[in-house]
Amino acid sequence: MARMELSSLAKRYGQVEVLREIDLTIEDGEFVVLVGPSGCGKSTLLRMIAGLEPISGGELRIDGRRVNETAPRDRDIAMVFQSYALYPHMDVARNMGFSLEIRGKPETERRPRVAAAASTLSLEPLLARLPKALSGGQRQRVAMGRAIVRQPRAFLFDEPLSNLDAALRVDMRLEIARLHKRLAATMIYVTHDQVEAMTLADRIVVLNGGDVQQVGSPLDLYDRPANRFVAQFIGSPTMNILPVTLDDRGLPRLANGAAVPLEGLAPEGVAGRIAEIGLRPEHLVPGAAEGALVSGTADLVEHLGSDTNVYVRTEDYGTLVLRVHGHHPVRSGDALHLHARPGAVHAFDRDGLALPRRSR
């Protein structure tokens, strides 16, 4: 069990700064997801915690002890790799017991621990097989089993599900969630998939370009994104961004002259600063032409069954997305007048920072 403190952690390759001043405290037993687009430094950060990448600046402490210079094998952390990194010349049982074998634990101690982990992950029938005789999902479970057997202080996952097909990914996601519930161990999970991040995390750390954009619970990030990047990164389809202009009374107006409904925002923060508004697809509703924020033509209609995504071509804002229920009668070519759900508008200033919302 481990509490991790990252203070001003930095990573440089020569002149290139990959991570800048990362400050983060991960509580014992917490499930933290590092999420961001590719190249944002999330995997590098995870590898620094594992000890596979040297730390260029700042300090990493595990349970209060500085481990910057500690070798990976002395950090007592397990890691699950994207490619699973199973040892191809060892059968499943030996793969899972490898860390114990390395530490010179006798067979009599290894066998029950491997068996226990195997039963947790329903791997018993596969123990004698070589990795090449396993399917992707089975390999993934073996990789997790290898981590569990050690009973480490913390688990690191580096995009563990990205090589699996969609259905298996959902299964494994549940399995990881169950595992965390059962072990109550500290887990740090890297992904670019926001669904994995939203469903698994106690707290999400959104990274972009080597900086932490926001740290918070999944719903925090969804309801109160700190800036435009987080707002657009979390939520699918992505949030619509509409620039606004200020009229002579200083009130924000859209291109057709409609006033922006500001009821969800803290009024003192908005005045004079608002430059753009953000509207999630699920917060747009088609309605009457009168009082509509924006009007356009339905271009593409995607039926997902439970929902329908409608891509609306507008004159002033390009293509906007809205989400309606699965059997909504909208068709491609229909004229649509869009309204916002009350209190759902996000606002951003010129620098993309979110303007404060009313506390609920």
Interacting residues with other proteins (CB under 8 A): 50-52, 71-73, 77-79, 81, 83, 85-89, 98-99, 102-103, 130, 146, 150
Which residue number, 14 or 88, has a Cβ lying nearer to other proteins? 88
Which residue number, 50 or 353, has a Cβ lying nearer to other proteins? 50
Least CB distance to other proteins at residue 326 (A): 43
Which residue number, 83 or 135, has a Cβ lying nearer to other proteins? 83
50: exposed, middle or buried (Cβ count in 10 Å: 0-12, 13-18, 19+):
middle
Which residue number, 113 or 203, has a Cβ lying nearer to other proteins? 113
Least CB distance to other proteins at residue 144 (A): 13
Beta bridge partners of 189: 33, 157
Which residue number, 129 or 203, has a Cβ lying nearer to other proteins? 129
Least CB distance to other proteins at residue 129 (A): 12
CA atoms within 13 A on the CB side of 338: 31
Least CB distance to other proteins at residue 46 (A): 12
Least CB distance to other proteins at residue 181 (A): 24
CA 223 to chain centre: 15
Which residue number, 10 or 50, has a Cβ lying nearer to other proteins? 50
Type of residue at 245: T
Question: CB of 251 within 8 A of CB of 259?
Answer: yes
Which residue number, 65 or 350, has a Cβ lying nearer to other proteins? 65
Question: Which two three-digit tokens encode residue 272?
Answer: 């004079």
Least CB distance to other proteins at residue 145 (A): 13
Least CB distance to other proteins at residue 86 (A): 8
Least CB distance to other proteins at residue 253 (A): 55
Least CB distance to other proteins at residue 148 (A): 13
Which residue number, 52 or 255, has a Cβ lying nearer to other proteins? 52
Which residue number, 89 or 358, has a Cβ lying nearer to other proteins? 89
Three-state SS letters, the chain: CCCEEEEEEEEEECCEEEEEEEEEEECCCCEEEEECCCCCCHHHHHHHHHCCCCCCEEEEEECCEECCCCCHHHCCEEEECCCCCCCCCCCHHHHHHHHHHHCCCCHHHHHHHHHHHHHHCCCHHHCCCCHHHCCHHHHHHHHHHHHHHCCCCEEEEECCCCCCCHHHHHHHHHHHHHHHHHHCCEEEEEECCHHHHHHHCCEEEEEECCEEEEEECHHHHHHCCCEHHHHHHCCCCCCEEEECEECCCCCEECCCCCECCCCCECHHHHCCCCCEEEECHHHEEECCCCCCCEEEEEEEEEECCCEEEEEEEECCCEEEEEEEECCCCCCCCCEEEEEECCCCCEEECCCCEECCECCC
